[in-house]
Amino acid sequence: MTDEEHPVDEEHPVDARHSTAEQRRLDDEGAGWRDWGPYVAERAWGSVREDYSADGDAWASFTHDQARSRTYRWNEDGMAAFSDLEQNWCLGLALFNGVDPILKERMFGLAGPEGNHGEDVKEYWWYLDSTPTHAFNSWRYHYPQSPFPYDDLVATNAKRGKLDPEYELVDTGIFDESRYWVVSVDYAKAGPHDLLMQITVENAGPDARTLDVLPTLWYRNTWGWGYPDAGEKPQLHAEGDAVVGAGGAAGPLMLRGDAGGHPLFCDNETNTAKLYGESAATSPHYPKDGINDFIVSGAATVNPEQTGTKAALHYRVTLEPGETRVIRVRLTGGVADARPTDFDETVATRRAEADEFYAAVTPPGTPDDQVAVLRQAFAGLLWSKQFFHFNVQKWLDGDPAYPPPPPGRADVRNTHWRHLDAHDVILMPDPWEYPWFAAWDLAFHCVTLAHIDPGFAKGQLILMLREWYMHPSGQLPAYEWNFSDVNPPTHAWAALHVFLLDGGTDYTFLARIFHKLLMNFTWWTNNKDHGDNNLFQGGFMGLDNIAPLDRSKLPPEVGILEQADSTAWMAMYALDLLNISLRLAAHDRSYEDVATKFIEHFLQIASSANAASMWDDDDAFFYDVLHLADGRDVPLKVRSLVGLVPVVASLAFAGDGSADLPEFDARVAWYLNAHPEVRESFHERTSDDDQSYLLALVSPERLQRILAKVFDEDGMLSRHGIRAISAYHRTHPFSIEVEGVEAIVDYEPAESTSGLFGGNSNWRGPVWFPLNVLLIEALRGYGTSGAPDARVELPLASGNFVTLTEAADELSSRLISLFTPGADGRRPADARYELLSTDPRWAHNIFFYEYFDGDTGQGLGASHQTGWTALVAHLILTSGSR
């Protein structure tokens, strides 16, 4: 099995963009084009890192209301903000409409306990464009001209229950008569450390209005925590109409803007008098909220000496209806030169270079509406890069300048991850709702990103396996809220895709990944196969409340839950490591024997899964099985994605690899003869002109039976992809009684209607991108090499029989259709609101939601989840249906 014999190598080629200016910047690694970027979160309040409480209630420990006055310990947040790689400094945007109670410096949203479906941002902004080096970035925000309804959003959502829809900003009527500002920020780099910030404001309303615009530069507070090695405290000061920075790790900086910008200064220090009642004599004189208080109420809270660690250039603009104003700002590092005269030309050039770069990436014939989706999906993914700083040991023990944290907090979370010491830029799932990494999310992010920036994608995958992330036991940290939780092992799958999208030649990368994944695979086998029978547990496995029971907290006295998805994930993991080891063995024969280890391990897992009671032959579906302590085995007969993960555990390839690795082939032949019971997972197909192989937990015959249920539009197939749980359960709920408590699963197409395990995240019916994409790729593998002659009816009872490859193309088209206008001109994901779907100022701006209503396609959950939802770009670039 050679590199050329694997069908995934046929993915979109990577060399079409090599002649572009942006690609030349990417190739010039020593020039520092990545040093500055949009590495600032949209939210740092309410995060685990900032939670120093005894009970672990992160939302209450650091609230939105405190954020403007309280210094962050670990990282900053802001609107349309850039920073350097270590976030020594940040440049962002603040706005004031003249009537709000506070300066708009960060996006507002509800804390987890405040929303009727969990945490939820209540603002409208979009990431419109970005290149991988961030030589050009574009951002857009719609800011109401009437007082922002902070109290109304909190109070009304508090009155709504789980059965009610969320009360959104548009529901308040605040955008009626177009009474809002359209604010756009375009960043263009004149050089690696020469950043042009173009702020465009448009009065969309019917009356003349005034807006305060404050491009703001500030230093992250690294000096206030009591460490002797903190280094020199940086300082900003005024020189004429410019803000000049000196000292600290950032080096010299200069911020200059168009005429009329008045410099305002305060310090990035906590207002202890306001928050904690400390004496005004000991509280900072010009604290973090000093510019806010000066703009909003005219307080004497900005430093008249024009020095500090936070500074803004204050512009006040009055515009007639429909009028637009452009404000130009330039930040330079290392030099303090005059404002260039070619500002507009540089912005236009960088925008044109972004167009050139994406034109080279986009396949010919891609429809215009898909091109727009592709561009904004990549933009959101690139804007989601964030500086992630978290030293768990210091967080648990506290800092020298402050009293130690309360003792109880050591038992809240992450106690066993003291080694974790993060200080890196990472692709985040969502910059507001999920401003922290999640291991299996990141795998999907990297596959999409590899189409445009494989170097960064490879670095991200390696990062999670480094010694300051991976636990000494071999476990990968799941996500910040609980590093010890267990996510599906998708890292090897992602590494293979990134390797191939990068041209399939970086064997050093593949070997680095492989060595560390051996440790992680061993952790899985040692910790999640409690019966030593190749049937695995794992907990909720990223699927939250998809099951009737909390799979992460089943008491051992009740029984053991063997999970169809966990078992299949491990079968897939073994196949991915087999694939990697074979590719490495083609260049280094020392990997040949480890390849035999993984093919045998896969065959053992697949054989156990097919022989176990988790396969129901009457239903033609896989189910979790609860082995009760009294000896009874109870299959949890919920038709869900849990039962489809086994389909993903497949590897199809063409060609005869015997001439390349004879010892491997001989060992496989011996093993199949010695263990005939595993043969049902090894399929060989020979024709006149080729030979193909399929390693699969699910045989082609069983697959066709499974798909007959899946492709039922009254079952798992929706107009926009595969549902998490079959609509069959709408009228046939599944129930089980355990320890005298009845647990029920029915079909919920949208948000969760009960406070079940998994918070606001709902896998009980909506369409989710990650597993849909894995299923699509599995079907392509079956259709290419494993079962090219197989036909399935799609949809069921339609009389339309298609190949498995054609079925994959149809599912891909259905997912893409979430973001493209339908016959009524509306994008299904935004169809709930006419304003978002039809208004010219709104309709072309695309949200990338966390998941989608299983019946209508309406977007749900986090609204900027261009982490794994950006997989739509991967589908567009690899679709065979154009």
Mean pLDDT, consecutive 10-residue stretches, the chain (882 aa), reads 37 63 94 97 97 93 97 98 98 98 98 91 98 98 98 97 94 98 98 97 98 98 95 95 94 96 98 94 95 98 98 98 98 69 93 98 96 98 98 96 86 92 97 95 98 98 98 97 95 98 97 98 96 93 89 88 97 98 94 96 97 95 94 94 97 66 93 95 78 90 95 97 97 91 92 74 92 97 86 96 97 98 93 92 96 97 95 92 52
Instruction: Give the whole-angstrom CA distance, residue 94 versus residue 436.
Output: 23
Instruction: Give the whole-angstrom CA distance, residue 626 versus residue 564.
Output: 11
- Structural tokens at position 456: 């960064």
CA angle 350, 356, 362 (to 5 degrees): 135
- Structural tokens at position 18: 């090599």
At a CB cut-off of 8 Å and minimum separation 6, what does 151 contact? none
Cα of 306 vs its chain's centroid, Å: 40
- Indicate the Cα dihedral angle 726, 732, 738, 740, nearest 10°: 150
Contact call for residues 224 and 251 (beta carbons, < 8 A) = no
Answer positive or negative: Cα dihedral of 864, 867, 868, 869.
positive
Residue 425 CA neighbour count, 13 Å, CB half: 22
Instruction: Give the whole-angstrom CA distance, residue 422 versus residue 415.
Output: 16
Instruction: Give the whole-angstrom CA distance, residue 644 versus residue 703.
Output: 10
Instruction: Give the whole-angstrom CA distance, residue 417 versus residue 478.
Output: 11
Strands 650-654 and 624-628, bridge-based pairing: unpaired
Say what the pLDDT of residue 685 is. Answer: 77
Helix (H, G, I), strand (E, B) or coil at 731: coil
Instruction: Give the whole-angstrom CA distance, residue 710 versus residue 723.
Output: 9
DSSP single-letter state for residue 728: G
Contact call for residues 345 and 188 (beta carbons, < 8 A) = no
- Identify the H or E element spanning 686: strand 682-686
Answer positive or negative: Cα dihedral of 400, 405, 410, 412.
negative
Say what the pLDDT of residue 268 is. Answer: 98
Helical packing angle, 439-449 and 491-501, nearest 10°: 10
- Structural tokens at position 222: 């690294």
Alpha helices in 113-218 (DSSP H): 150-159
Helical packing angle, 491-501 and 564-585, nearest 10°: 40
Alpha helices in 115-225 (DSSP H): 150-159
- Cβ-based burial of 755 (10 A; exposed 0-12, middle 13-18, buried ≥19): exposed
Instruction: Give the whole-angstrom CA distance, residue 550 versus residue 796.
Output: 32
Cα of 864 vs its chain's centroid, Å: 9
Instruction: Give the whole-angstrom CA distance, residue 434 versus residue 43.
Output: 9
Instruction: Give the whole-angstrom CA distance, residue 489 versus residue 568.
Output: 10
CA angle 580, 582, 587 (to 5 degrees): 100
Sole residue written with tokens 């200080």: 423
Residue 257 CA neighbour count, 13 Å, CB half: 24
Instruction: Give the whole-angstrom CA distance, residue 869 versus residue 448.
Output: 10
Contact call for residues 527 and 570 (beta carbons, < 8 A) = no
Nearest CA among 433, 432, 401 for reference residue 117? 433
- Structural tokens at position 6: 């694997």
Helix (H, G, I), strand (E, B) or coil at 433: coil
DSSP single-letter state for residue 324: E
Contact call for residues 179 and 169 (beta carbons, < 8 A) = no
Q: Is the peptide bond before 766 cis (omega within 30 degrees of 0)?
A: no
Instruction: Give the whole-angstrom CA distance, residue 89 versus residue 215.
Output: 13
At a CB cut-off of 8 Å and minimum separation 6, what does 417 contact? 392, 471, 477, 483, 484
Answer positive or negative: Cα dihedral of 598, 603, 604, 605.
positive
Helix (H, G, I), strand (E, B) or coil at 775: helix
Say what the pLDDT of residue 555 is. Answer: 87
Say what the pLDDT of residue 378 is. Answer: 98
Q: Please state, as a whole number, how many other Cβ atoms lie within 10 Å of the Cβ of residue 823.
A: 5
Residue 360 CA neighbour count, 13 Å, CB half: 18
Contact call for residues 146 and 174 (beta carbons, < 8 A) = yes
Q: Please state, as a whole number, how many other Cβ atoms lie within 10 Å of the Cβ of residue 800.
A: 13
Sole residue written with tokens 């900086």: 253
Distances (CA, A) of 713 to 138, 416, 724, 751, 795: 39, 46, 13, 20, 7
Instruction: Give the whole-angstrom CA distance, residue 445 versus residue 493.
Output: 12
- Structural tokens at position 797: 């009872």
Report the largest interatomic distance among the alpha carbons of the chain, rounded to a whole angstrom: 90
pTM: 0.96
Answer positive or negative: Cα dihedral of 476, 479, 485, 490.
negative
Contact call for residues 828 and 817 (beta carbons, < 8 A) = yes
Instruction: Give the whole-angstrom CA distance, residue 779 versus residue 171.
Output: 42
| 67 φψ region: left (φ > 0), alpha (ψ -120 to 50), beta (else) | alpha
Sole residue written with tokens 């000196």: 246
Tell me the one-letter amino acid at 738: V
Instruction: Give the whole-angstrom CA distance, residue 612 versus residue 610.
Output: 6
- Structural tokens at position 568: 């299949």
Helix (H, G, I), strand (E, B) or coil at 872: helix
Say what the pLDDT of residue 8 is. Answer: 38
Say what the pLDDT of residue 688 is. Answer: 64
Give the gyration radius of the chain's Cα atoms. Answer: 28
Give φ, ψ of 323 to 5 degrees.
Answer: -80, 150
Distances (CA, A) of 544 to 478, 482, 486, 594, 748: 13, 14, 11, 34, 14
